[in-house]
Structure 1
């Protein structure tokens, strides 16, 4: 490639006005522009409310809102998915986003009252001898 004769001209010629080599790394004709997950959460890595385990169940509190201020397309997609009960792991899989990002967005939706959640039940007390006796009695009954 010959250097441009006009010093004001960009080194990559006319291509820079419409397309640069830098864009090739971040654009795909099928996927469109890429948005980093931390942009979706404004840089937050923890939800403002709730601790969302992978097995936490989430359900929308109502129908998908029309033009809700402060909600991104991913928030709306979560509300749409959660019209029936869904776990955090399932939501993450459907959206193809990192778990941390989905947790932050779920916290936002919980704060605004768009979703409700059910934490997993704590494990039974494994030191309770009655539990072991009940299991043994159940096995003997078989």
Structure 2
């Protein structure tokens, strides 16, 4: 096992530190395929720890919890807890926003799918 590089002190933190002690029992823990999107930016007045700020910057476009884990290089279980807590706080929304202007190709694909039924 290799030691964490000195330039990355975050690797020495325990997961409960990154998740502020875990998630309350009333907050549903998301699965790895859940899509999340930032509801606010990291600089919207509230002081945010570096991990949460990184999630907010990453999720300006919708990403799955698995993608968040991979891009932040944290265990998937930790990403699920972190993102679930941020959803409970209102910093992240679940699900991708609907496309207000569907393309002709997408509408055609839907029509073909309906005809196949």
Q: Which has the larger radius of gyration?
A: 1
The TM-score, its normalising length taken from structure 1, stands at: 0.55
Instruction: Indicate if the aligned counterparts of 2:62 and 2:95 stay in contact, CA closer than 8 A.
Output: no
Q: Following the alignment from structure 1 to structure 2, what is the Cα–Cα distance between the partners of residues 94 and 106?
A: 13
Instruction: Give 1:104 shift.
Output: 1.7
Q: In the TM superposition, what whole-angstrom CA distance separates every residue of 1:45-94 from its partner, at most 9, and x where no partner exists?
A: 6775233111100001132334523x321111101100001001000001
> Structure 1 residues 43 and 112, CA, compared in 2 at 3 Å: closer, same or farther?
closer
RMSD: 2.9
Name which structure has the greater RCO, CA cutoff 8 Å, separation 6+: 2
Tell me the number of residue pairs that the alignment of Structure 1 and Structure 2 aligns. Answer: 96
Q: Secondary structure at the match of 1:76?
A: helix
The TM-score, its normalising length taken from structure 2, stands at: 0.65
- Pairwise mapping of residues 27-106 of structure 1 onto structure 2 (< 5 A)? 28-32=5-9, 34-44=12-22, 49-66=27-44, 68-69=46-47, 71-106=48-83
Gaps of 5+ in 1: 1-24, 120-137
Structure number with higher helix proportion: 2
Q: Following the alignment from structure 1 to structure 2, what is the Cα–Cα distance between the partners of residues 60 and 44?
A: 20
